[in-house]
Amino acid sequence: MFTYPRMPVPARSSLTLAVVVAALAAAPAASAQTAAPAVPAGLADTTDRVAGPTKDGEVAPVRPLQVIVEFADDAGEEGRVAAAAAVDGGLLRVSGPHTRLMGLPPGADGEQALRTLREREDVVSAVPNHVGRAAGYTPDDPGAGAGWEAVQWNFLAAHGVNAPDAWTNLREAGRAGGKGTVVAVIDSGVAYRDDGRYELSPDFTRSQFVRGRDFLRDSPYPLDTSGHGTHIAGTIAERTDNGVGVTGLAYGSRIMPLRVLDSEGFGDSDDIARAVRFAAREGADVINLSIEFDDEIEARDIPNLLEAIEYAREKDVNVVAASGNSAADSVPYPARAPGVIAVGATTESGCLAEYSNAGRMVDVVAPGGGRDANVPDDPRCSLDNDGRNIVQMTFDGQVDEFLLPRDYEGTSMASPHVAGTIALVLASGVLGDDPKPKEVELHIEDTARDLGSRSLYGHGLVDAAAATRPR
């Protein structure tokens, strides 16, 4: 089984070749009024989304020759242009109210450029444009399903999220399947429409999607190129009771597809941050981030993304993220960010999955599939248990050939179970008409099924039925 490779993060002193700054996208009005100046000839072209190779041949953990610069409030466009000129660079893109993505010329000394920028009084921070990756596994062997109950153990009551009872709760509330909610899937895109060789997934309808964006191509058409995002969207909102494929947890909600990951599962902090801001501005109720950065990435390395998440929370958007797949006792960003619900993964037997990160930063767990972790004191866990994975309709290799692969597992798959549950909670009205994200988070935790050790399972296994039960 192929996994997205881990990307070692070099010390700052070794970021000579691959450093350019990306900043948060400005608010819509600022973006329209303050266009970035033309990029000087020879600077890094942001349409080239491939991270440069390291000396070991692995994918670099930052975008080559891109830096994210946050300027002081009073810097002005003149000051931003002057800062770029000080490092022989140019402003590639507006990324936030006071943040710009800056390009350096080929062969530039990235470390020296960072030092020069950080010494300026009009610069608040300057960091590399770090690269994250999909927090899950990609399929390498197609499978087939035979009725949703036979393959979607993750939606049943035993060790799943108890979707059938949740669906009953929502029908009785008059909001079947979470109708009226919008979930932003920030991922590799979604098979949400017919477009040339791309096809709409046969278990979705076009009306299930709201306007999205492709942040890799700066295009309004976020078409999936790997199948990962389509699988995530399927867990949340795939159609039910239609005689096709399997089911989605919040099948009445609508998906906002936002593409930030390339076909290999990599995406940078600038694109992810811009997508978070877009989702918050455009009316998403929930954001799902099945994405993880390397364990060594700290808050100071991704200030643009943390500001975007804070912006989303201020707009009362619920943010959910995968806890990561390195079997560590810590949680990487973005799941580690304040206000984000960090989701670990469990198996078909209700045990912690062998790959899932754990520790005090995990808020809840949800089905992710795979083998049991080695937890001697947990009777649900056995090293002999090699449970089934998470089945949703997506494509494998060919973007127009859809199937039900059986090899998707990871915290990537766990996270959308929580995002879908939140959509159901919001639609059900059990928390009132306009609950705040913190209230929603506490409700998800309070209604989760206690699995024992808080350091392994957080507050427990998310329970969609309990979370949507009238109080």
- Residues identified as active-site: 187, 228, 412
DSSP string, 334-388: TTTSTTEEEEEEE-TTSSBBTT---STT--EEEE--SBBP--TT-TT--TT-B--
- How do beta strands 286-289 and 318-322 pair? parallel
Rounded (5°) CA angle 61-1-380 = 105
The one-letter code for the residue type at 165 is D
Please report, for residues 65, 226, 344, the alpha-carbon distance to residue 50 in angstroms, rounded to integers and kept in the order given.
Answer: 12, 15, 29
Asked if residue 162 lies in contact with residue 464, where contact means CB atoms within 8 angstroms, the answer is yes
Burial class (CB in 10 A: 0-12, 13-18, 19+), 338: exposed
Residue 187: name the closest of 240, 251, 151, 236 by CA: 236
Quick check: helix, strand or coil at residue 15? coil
Residue 12: name the closest of 113, 84, 88 by CA: 113
Give me the phi and psi of 319, to 5 degrees please.
-115, 125
Residue 369: name the closest of 339, 332, 402, 406 by CA: 406
Residue 253: name the closest of 213, 290, 309, 207 by CA: 207
